[in-house]
Structure 1
Amino acid sequence: MRDVYVIGAGQTPFGSFPDRSYRDLFAEAYGATRDSVDSGIETDEIDEAVVATLGVGGRQLGLSGPAVTEHVGLHNVPCSRIENACGAGGFAVRQGVQAIKSGMADVVLAGGFEVMTDLSGDVTKYWLGVSGETEWERLTGTTFSGVYAQMASAYMEKHDATKEDLSRVAVKNHGNGAKNPKAHLGFECSLEDAVSAPAVADPLNLYHCCPTSDGAAAVLLASEDVVDEYTDERVRVAGTGAASERVGLAQRDSYTEISASSEAADRAYERAGIDPDDLDFAEVHDCFAIAELIAYEDLGFCDRGEAPRLLREGVTDPDGDLPVNTSGGLKSKGHPIGATGTGQVVEAFDQLTGRAGDRQLENPRYGLTHNVGGSGGAAAVHVFENEEVAQ
């Protein structure tokens, strides 16, 4: 099968934009993505589009994919909408990769968008619950912060982790997000701030939870047959993996790991021909602070129970051995559901092509993105390679 390359990637700022529409946001991300292609690209050169979204403002709009692609001039281009809760963007990229590897397309647009701040907080928390287990979680009043709080409690008890360990995730990611002009919460916080914030769902507090955001992000993928027409910067999709898991916590064997993430990562590493030790950075799904800790272990960055040590020792800091969430992650950059996974790929593309500005790492070769749906019902993992560094 043919190799697939990222030839462009772009996004809007993530935040609260009451005066903007979902079409407007997608058009900005699409324009930024086209502008990032070195040799330029015309709309009629795109063979297919895949668009990720949970819905629009809770309204579950039908034909939301074509509604945004026709708005940017992609008429008569086949467009599929992907809905896999918070993991939709990662799966949109995966479907774009599959279309190219199959030979059915040479250039694919994988994008995502969400408008989330036009509803009240009370409505939003129950709307987001559609991504969890309906009968035993959502309809009994459990919110996503409540679900992840259960995971955090189980993890802290099993591994003697503390609220300070959770808070170090916030401190690190806010520090990174403060250097990202596209971040929703682009400010730094101290460990004291993060530890003492108001409770949301014990043991999680305000600084342990990501914001709900508006935004859009997109990625252009091209086959090895045409990539040289667009760019000399060869960012290869070295490996991709995906998996599903039981949607509800009560149905799982463990509250302290997400098997879909582990399985997806194993497949991505195998296809890329690398191990976790080969990675130079990662963007992981930190919707709640505990999710980042669990991700370290699911993705093979450390053994079970060792995630707090990585944070305490600075391993995942920007100057550490494995920087994680240089964009600010969901915690600081924001979480417009359909755009989150594609937004992670934007950061990976920027890092691997030297476009990350104040967040730029030194000469990275391999980067990973990890996008989770719900509390772990689905996960998509991608490994990207700068082939020039490999040489």
Structure 2
Amino acid sequence: MRDAYLIGAGQTAFGAFPERSYRDLFAEAYQHACERVDGGIEPGDIDEAVVGSLGVGGRQLGLSGPAVTEHVGLHNVPCTRVENACAAGGFALRQAVQAIRSGMADVVLASGFEVMSDMSGDVTKYWLGVSGETEWERLTGTTFSGVYAQMASAYLDRHDATAEDLSRVAVKNHANGAKNPKAHLGFECSLEDAVGAPEVAAPLNLYHCCPTSDGAAVALLASEDVVEEYTDERIRVAGVGAASDHVGLAERDSYVGLSATETAAETAYDRAGVDPSALDFAEIHDCFAIAELLAYEDLGFCDRGEAARLLRDGVTDPDGDLPVNTSGGLKSKGHPIGATGTGQVVEAFDQFTGQAGDRQLAEPRYGLTHNVGGSGGATVVHVFENEEVAE
């Protein structure tokens, strides 16, 4: 089974761009990714494309994949659209890796895109809601902030954590996002601001919730057989793991962890031949502040109930032992549903190639991306290794 390598990655800024189309956003991200392939790449080099999108607002629900790839000249390239809610981009990357490992393709494009700002809040809420349990959550009036608020309430009640710890997540990620020119909410916030923000769904307030964003992100992968034709960088997709769970929160055994994340992470670590202690950074799915705390534990960064301590001790700060969400995460960088997972890969590419600017870490060897669909119904985890960095 052949290894897959990350040879280029690029994205648009994430934000509110209602005047732009999904084709336009994809084209910008594609151009950015191609420009960052050291040896250059032509449309004829790409054997296959996989794109992720929820199709927010009902736009081009059928054939939205070919609609964007033909727009940039990728004619006659097989293209598949993946829809797995907020994990669509991450699962698009997983399928791209599978295409390379199977031997069916040597160079594959993995992408995600979404336009979310050209609709009213009520319509956007509907399209977000379809990623939850329809009969028992959305149709009874429960929003995703309400679902994650239930998880937050259960966690705060069970463990040594407070609502102030939720605000610490926001403060950290906004500080990181303020250094990211691609971030939707690229500004810092104080702990006082984050604690005192208007309530959305107790115990979650406005600063505990990510924005809905427009944007696109593209990753380019090559097999071990041809990678040297494109780059001297050796960023290997070392491990991939994915899992599913009950879509509805009420059907699960626990409100204080996502079993799909735990299973996906265990698989990714096993295939990469590492454990969490090897990681130099992680981009994790912080759609709500509680999601980041749960992910610390589900991904094995700490024991159950210890996530708040990890945060308070600065372990996940940029200068800590395991920096988390140097991009700003969903909270600050933004959350254009289909583009979120591939956007995480752009940050990984930036860090590995020394292009992260003021966010740059010192020669990372291993990094992880973690992309969640809905409230945990689907999760995908990738572990990347920079083979040029010695142990």
After TM superposition, the score normalised by the length of structure 1 is 0.99
Q: Deviations over 1:165-188 (max 9, x none)?
A: 000000000000000000000000
Aligned-residue offset at 1:57: 3.0
Task: Specify the SS of the correspondent of 1:108.
Answer: strand
Question: Aligned pair 1:289/2:289, yes or no?
Answer: yes
Give the structure 1 partner of residue 219 of structure 2. Answer: 219
Q: Runs of at least 4 residues of structure 1 off by over 2 A? A: 56-61
After TM superposition, the structure 1 stretch with the greater mean CA deviation from structure 2, 374-383 or 160-169, is 160-169
Give the structure 1 partner of residue 26 of structure 2. Answer: 26
Q: Deviations over 1:269-300 (max 9, x none)?
A: 00000000000000000000000000000000
Partners of 2:160 and 2:229 in 1: how far apart? 54
Give the structure 2 partner of residue 239 of structure 1. Answer: 239
Give the structure 1 partner of residue 354 of structure 2. Answer: 354
AA aligned to 1:276 is P
Partners of 1:18 and 1:123 in 2: how far apart? 14
Give the structure 1 partner of residue 14 of structure 2. Answer: 14
Partners of 2:66 and 2:323 in 1: how far apart? 37
Give the structure 2 partner of residue 366 of structure 1. Answer: 366
Partners of 2:57 and 2:342 in 1: how far apart? 19
Unaligned runs of 5+ in 2: none
Give the structure 2 partner of residue 161 of structure 1. Answer: 161
Give the structure 2 partner of residue 316 of structure 1. Answer: 316
Give the structure 2 partner of residue 258 of structure 1. Answer: 258
| Contact 1:100 1:108 (8 Å CA) reproduced | yes
Aligned-residue offset at 1:56: 3.8
Partners of 2:361 and 2:19 in 1: how far apart? 35
Task: Specify the SS of the correspondent of 1:318.
Answer: coil
| Contact 2:57 2:127 (8 Å CA) reproduced | no
Aligned-residue offset at 1:137: 0.2
Aligned-residue offset at 1:121: 1.1
Question: Aligned pair 1:337/2:341, yes or no?
Answer: no
Give the structure 2 partner of residue 121 of structure 1. Answer: 121
Matches within 5 A, 1:140-179: 140-179=140-179
Question: Aligned pair 1:72/2:72, yes or no?
Answer: yes
Partners of 1:262 and 1:67 in 2: how far apart? 35
Aligned-residue offset at 1:160: 3.1
Question: Aligned pair 1:40/2:40, yes or no?
Answer: yes
Aligned-residue offset at 1:326: 0.1
Q: Deviations over 1:47-92 (max 9, x none)?
A: 0000000004344621111110000111110000000000011100
AA aligned to 2:191 is L
Aligned-residue offset at 1:38: 0.3
Give the structure 1 partner of residue 389 of structure 2. Answer: 389
Task: Specify the SS of the correspondent of 1:156.
Answer: helix
Give the structure 2 partner of residue 278 of structure 1. Answer: 278
Aligned-residue offset at 1:258: 0.2
| Contact 2:242 2:380 (8 Å CA) reproduced | yes
Question: Aligned pair 1:106/2:101, yes or no?
Answer: no
| Contact 2:18 2:115 (8 Å CA) reproduced | no
| Contact 2:56 2:124 (8 Å CA) reproduced | no
Task: Specify the SS of the correspondent of 1:388.
Answer: coil
Task: Specify the SS of the correspondent of 2:99.
Answer: helix
| Contact 1:114 1:214 (8 Å CA) reproduced | yes
AA aligned to 2:109 is L
Give the structure 1 partner of residue 87 of structure 2. Answer: 87
- How many equivalent residue pairs? 391
Q: Percent identity?
A: 83
Task: Specify the SS of the correspondent of 2:152.
Answer: helix
| Contact 1:10 1:346 (8 Å CA) reproduced | yes
Partners of 2:58 and 2:330 in 1: how far apart? 20
Aligned-residue offset at 1:161: 1.4
Q: Deviations over 1:346-380 (max 9, x none)?
A: 10111011110110000100000000000000000
Q: Deviations over 1:202-223 (max 9, x none)?
A: 1000000000000000000000
Distance 1:145 1:358, change over 3 A: same
Partners of 2:267 and 2:329 in 1: how far apart? 23
| Contact 1:11 1:29 (8 Å CA) reproduced | yes
| Contact 1:5 1:227 (8 Å CA) reproduced | yes
Aligned-residue offset at 1:240: 0.5
| Contact 2:65 2:79 (8 Å CA) reproduced | yes
Give the structure 2 partner of residue 5 of structure 1. Answer: 5
Task: Specify the SS of the correspondent of 2:290.
Answer: helix
Aligned-residue offset at 1:12: 0.1
Task: Specify the SS of the correspondent of 1:327.
Answer: coil
Partners of 1:49 and 1:244 in 2: how far apart? 23
AA aligned to 1:335 is H
